[in-house]
Amino acid sequence: MAKANAKKLPDIAKHSWQRRRDYLILVAAVAASDDRLHPDELKLLMRWMDDFKLPAKSRNTVLDVARKKAKPALQAIEKRLAATDLGYSLILDMMGMAMADGVLMDDEIMLLRGVAHALEVDPVDFNILIEFVHAAHQASCLSSPEPLYEHSIDSAFKLLHERKISLFAHTLLCVSSPQFDEQLKARWARSRA
């Protein structure tokens, strides 16, 4: 069922390769921001580079950022992406990357806030999304729903609907649990119907 839901979501690969590269450079920057590239972050980044159909040179650029071998001009990239409709999707993916190792570190949160500001993501919306990412991770560990986590998930879905945000096929709503991610995507699809 999740595969069917994912197929209904738009494909990021329809954007230019330059835009996809810029997007993943910012995602790689958050992976590198806590001073170590966790194996789960690298795995997720490799998966997304495949999903994004990045050319080899762009893949190397993204990996160099993640491994701190390159320091790109993030402000220029943020400025280019601020002129698109990808801001909220990018922030959600960056938050997912930050959560890939199971912990949101202060350095990651500071970078996320800075990028969100540059992309003109409302600070209240930012807080709703970061609570969602945390709630999805926590809820994936439970056998029954917790009202507080359910509220955070519902609030994020409402926000995404109100802002008319596209979730892409590659987006993981819960990076820590593929099964819970599938459940959230099915729930997202039902909420859009």
User: At 42, which CATH number?
Assistant: 1.10.3680
Torsion of CA 163, 169, 171, 174, to 10 degrees: 110
Average confidence (pLDDT) over 120-144: 94
How sure is the predictor about 144, in pLDDT bands with cuts at 50, 70 and 90?
confident
What is the rounded radius of gyration, in angstroms, for the C-alpha atoms of the chain? 16
Average confidence (pLDDT) over 45-51: 96
- The residue with greater pLDDT, 4 or 22, is 22
The angle subtended at Cα 118 by Cα 116 and Cα 120, nearest 5°, is 70
Torsion of CA 87, 178, 180, 21, to 10 degrees: 0
Q: Could you tell me if 88 and 125 are in contact, meaning their C-beta atoms sit under 8 angstroms apart?
A: yes
Predicted confidence (pLDDT) per residue in 56-66, tens digit:
999 999 999 99
pTM over 0.75: yes
Say yes or no to pLDDT of 2 above 60: no
Q: How many domains does the chain have?
A: 1
Q: Which domain holds residue 17?
A: 2-192
Say yes or no to pLDDT of 4 above 50: no
